[in-house]
Amino acid sequence: MARRQTATLRTLRPVPPVWEIRLDLEYAPGAGSYVLADLGGPVREPLFPSVVDDTGFCTIVPRGHAVTRYLPGTPIDVIGPLGQGFRLSAAGYVPDRLLLIAEVDELPWLQPLYQAAPSVALVVEATTRGRLPPPARFPPTLELTLVTRDGSTGYLGPLESDGPTPVGIECALPRVRELVAWAECICIAGDMARYPALARLVQEVRFRPQTDFAQALVRVPMPCGVGVCDICRVTTRHGERRACVDGPVFDLMDFLE
Ligand code: FES
């Protein structure tokens, strides 16, 4: 049975081009899971955590999002935590070496995992240098790999591509393969259309990875959150699944074609 709670909007902070919202909440969602918030619209809005602590969580929303119209101190009716988030102990132990891979717009949803293992490596991909956060914004404990689609900084993306590389620029793929071989667990947040190619990459390096060795977050509209409306269906190799209850974090290998 889904839990109903009252969150309190604590702070709203512009972090151009988005807003960071802090909500106090007794039972906050973990990385990759979410709550559905009643923000006065026709359907509830899913809110994913970018920071989780003992008193609540932060989330990131676009400019103009319904929650930005509320004032600090406003109570908000939420349902959740909902869904299957990232499962770091899937193998029965907490991994020592965790690899995080994100497209820059989806990076907030991996932030709660920055300290989740003794060694954490992060690969972030953006279209160009100006879209990447400055390296100083990342915790120094992270082993950071930057990738740009135009080669303006870091490695040349896309990270799953083995296309031709201009002289003097290093392609991301060999570095990503190295990290996939190093990792005990991989968590990914990006465009779902890329997951089949990333699943092939992981399979090539690890041959037969165990269940949940690599996990991927799928973010699609989830109006009901409890498996009733069927709007959040995603196609996997096991057939159609509902992101709201079967995910939104899936085994990456479910997207192998
Ligand atoms: S959001 Fe309604 S079935 Fe998933």
Residue with token string 């949803």:
109
User: What is the Å distance from ligand 1's center to 246 Cα?
Assistant: 10
Helix axes 195-206, 172-182, angle to 10 degrees: 60
**Ligand 1 in reach of 244 Cβ (< 6 A):** yes
Q: Is 229 in the pocket of ligand 1 (CB under 6 A)?
A: yes
Q: Whose CA is nearest to atom 1 of ligand 1?
A: 222
Q: Cβ neighbours of residue 226 under 8 Å, at least 6 residues apart?
A: 2, 82, 244, 245
CATH code of domain 97-255 = 3.40.50.80
- Asked whether 190 lines ligand 1 (CB < 6 A), one says no
Long-range Cβ contacts of 85-89 (<8 Å, 24+ apart)? 85/29, 85/30, 85/31, 85/32, 85/33, 85/248, 85/249, 86/30, 86/31, 86/32, 86/113, 86/187, 86/215, 86/217, 86/249, 87/212, 87/215, 87/249, 88/113, 88/116, 88/117, 88/185, 88/187
Q: Give the closest residue (by CA) to ligand 1 atom 3.
A: 227
For the ranges 29-33, 87-91, 218-222, 240-244, the lowest mean pLDDT is seen at 87-91
Which ligand 1 atom is nearest residue 245's CA?
A: 4
Cα(44) to centroid(ligand 1), Å: 11
Q: Is 242 in the pocket of ligand 1 (CB under 6 A)?
A: yes
- Interval 217-252: pLDDT, tens: 999 999 888 888 999 999 999 999 999 999 999 999
Instruction: Specify the pLDDT at position 244.
Output: 93
What is the domain partition of the chain in residue ranges?
4-82, 97-255
- 37: tokens are 């918030």
Per-residue confidence band for 214, with pLDDT thresholds at 50, 70 and 90:
very high
Kindly indicate whether the domain formed by 4-82 is annotated with CATH number 3.40.50.300: no
The Cα 78–Cα 4 span in angstroms is: 6
Q: How confident is the model at residue 91 (pLDDT cuts 50, 70, 90)?
A: low
Planar angle of CA 200, 204, 210, nearest 5 degrees: 85
Mean pLDDT over 86-93 rounds to 80
Mean pLDDT over each residue of the chain, to the nearest integer: 93
Atom number, ligand 1, closest to the C-alpha of residue 242: 4
